[in-house]
Amino acid sequence: MSIREASHAGSWYTSSKQQLSTQLDGWLAQVPSSTKPIGPQSSSSNAVELPSPGCRAIIAPHAGYSYSGPAAAWAYKALDLSKAKRVFLLGPSHHFYLTRCALSQCEEYETSLGNLRLDKDTISALHQTGKFDKMSLSVDEDEHSLEMHLPYIYKLLSNAFPTPSAFPPLIPILIGNTSPSSETTYGRLLAPYLADTSSIFIISSDFAHWGSRFRYTYYEPGAAFPNTPPVSLRSSNRSAPKERPIHESIKEVDFRCMGAVERGAKEGFWEVLESTGNTVCGRHPIGVFLAAVEAVEAGRGGGEGGKEGGEGEAEAEAEWKGRMRFVRYERSGEVMNVKESSVSYASAFAVF
């Protein structure tokens, strides 16, 4: 049996089963049972329950747990696993260049808590479309964007199902440097699964990686300075920008991307990325997911994203079906000087 080892255990997160289980339980317990969404499109909406009935898709970060573990808990706390029969995990490829998507050849994924079984039948069906490559074991084990979600997945499944043998199987998909058109193709291929109420979708992504070490120092002076254009700050700059703190610019650009995701605007999301250069490392998995939502809505005459009757809160909630709502945003640090750096972590969920 081919098993992918938990290659980042002991470095990106603890390899101790007891310590890891306690950490995850603690972070999940810190998330309130209800919260107000914080995204630019949903911040005025009513408070939402966590877990949220019908939540079958989330966006969560994949950095080392000391950085993003608590933020990821907000997305995982939202999941509704009551009907789950399969779990899709979409993550970006950081180390291996590919222009398509790739599937695992393993039968199980190891975690420090226990192993997760892969859905070989669904993986085989996807591969037979001719659109997917296969990951080698080394590529599989080198990538962290998938692995960092596995302990959380195991923890949530262990809370929802009586034994590991009853866990829904996993379909990990490594997303390469896909084009908008190819993301539309992959979205259509995944749409039937997204439309199935027994499917869970987990999208792995960090947001802005800001700093010279990431080759991204984009800075917007802000609305108070309408005649001052955006610039890429130079590492030779000794003083901080005078218009506003750098971290406020980073947040504004991140929230612009988050707003496009909340609207379900695949083209709008790409327009923001192109205009700002924002280094959202999971932009391709997010793009594939948004394309899948579009395909599902097209197949249903747009019903998922539209109103479904009712008044007041019920009507407002109907508008959010199939749309991501962000409930957490953090950064590894608040950058004031160009010599500093930060990575942004955002968590969101969608109800179908």
Q: In total, how many domains does the chain have?
A: 1
CB 186 within 8 A of CB 131: yes
Residue 44 structure tokens: 């005025």
Residue range 182-197, pLDDT digits in tens: 999 999 999 999 999 9
Indicate the helix (H) or strand (E) that contains 231. Answer: strand 231-232
Cα→Cα distances 211→216, 217, 344, Å: 5, 5, 12
43 falls within a domain: no
How far is 123 from 118, CA to CA, in rounded Å? 8
Between the alpha carbon of residue 44 and those of residues 97, 172, 316, the distances in Å are: 40, 34, 11
Please state, in angstroms and rounded to a whole number, the distance separating the CA atoms of residues 3 and 58. Answer: 26
Q: Does any domain span residue 21?
A: no
Amino acid 321: pLDDT: 84
Residue 27 located in a structural domain: no
Q: Is residue 268 part of a domain?
A: yes
Q: Of 120, 116, 114, which Cα lies nearest the Cα of 167? A: 116
SS3 202: strand
State which residues form the domain around 274: 53-307+315-351
pLDDT at 332 over 60: yes
133: in domain: yes
d(CA 117, CA 170): 6
Contact 304, 56 (CB under 8 A): no
Q: Given pLDDT bands bounded at 50, 70 and 90, which one contains residue 307? A: very low
Q: What is the pLDDT of residues 58-82, one digit of tens each?
A: 999 999 999 999 999 999 999 999 9
Neighbours of 116 (CB within 10 A): 24
**How confident is the model over 229-242, as a mean pLDDT?**
89
- Note the pLDDT of residue 314: 56
Question: Could you tell me if 38 and 90 are in contact, meaning their C-beta atoms sit under 8 angstroms apart?
Answer: no
Mean pLDDT to the nearest integer, 163-174? 98
Which H helix or E strand runs over 87? strand 86-92
Quick one: CA torsion of 248, 253, 258, 264, rounded to 10 degrees? 150
Confidence at 301, pLDDT banded by 50, 70, 90? low
> What does the pLDDT read at residue 44?
76
Residue 137 lies in a domain: yes
Q: Cβ neighbours of residue 23 under 8 Å, at least 6 residues apart?
A: 13, 14, 65, 69
Q: Which residues pair with 86 in a beta bridge?
A: 199
**Residue 88 within a domain:** yes
The mean of the pLDDT values for the chain is 94
- Cα 349 → chain centroid: 9
* CA distances in angstroms from 141 to 90, 171, 239, 326, listed in the order given: 15, 15, 42, 30
Please indicate whether residue 122 or residue 239 has the higher confidence score (pLDDT).
122
Query: Given a cut of 80, is residue 1 above it in pLDDT?
Result: no
Kindly tell me if the per-residue pLDDT of 140 is higher than 60: yes
Q: Which two tokens stand for residue 193?
A: 């699964």
Q: Is residue 218 part of a domain?
A: yes
User: What mean pLDDT is predicted for residues 189-216?
Assistant: 97
Residue 315: partners with Cβ closer than 8 Å, 6 or more residues away: 307, 309
Where is pLDDT greater, at 304 or 284?
284
Mean pLDDT within 334-342: 95
Q: Centre a 10 Å sphere on the Cβ of residue 51 and count the other Cβ atoms it contains.
A: 19
Q: Is the dihedral of CA 239, 217, 222, 62 positive or negative?
A: negative
Listed range (59-68, 135-144, 255-264, 311-320) with the worst mean pLDDT:
311-320
Peptide bond into 51 cis (omega under 30): yes
CATH code of the domain containing 200: 3.40.830.10
Which pLDDT tens digit goes with each residue over 103-132?
Answer: 999 999 999 999 999 999 999 999 999 999
Dist. CA 304–CA 322, nearest whole Å: 6
Mean pLDDT check: name the lowest of 44-48, 62-66, 71-75, 198-202: 44-48
Q: How far apart are CA 179 and CA 287, in angstroms?
A: 9
